[in-house]
Amino acid sequence: MKKVLGLSAAGFGDEALTAWLNRIELTRPLTSEDMTAWKQAGLSQAVIRAAMK
């Protein structure tokens, strides 16, 4: 989960983050706390949705 925030902080946009999330398997399900932290960090709903698939 921290990798997504790191990639976002490095300047990767929605398209790259969404594509990356679609290719990997998360180590655990996305929690409501994760979703809140990601939204507060500026990640879009599209990126958050991609992590939920």
Q: How many domains does the chain have?
A: 1
Helix, strand or coil, per DSSP, at residue 10: coil
State CA 9 to chain mean position distance. Answer: 11
Q: What is the pTM of this model?
A: 0.86
pLDDT, tens digit, for every residue of 1-51? 789 999 999 999 999 999 999 999 888 999 999 999 999 999 999 999 999
Helix, strand or coil, per DSSP, at residue 36: helix
* Owning domain of residue 40: 1-7+14-21+30-53
Task: Please check whether residue 35 is in contact with residue 48, taking contact to mean a CB–CB distance below 8 angstroms.
Answer: yes
For the cut 90, the answer to whether the pLDDT of residue 53 exceeds it is: no
Give the pLDDT score at 1: 78
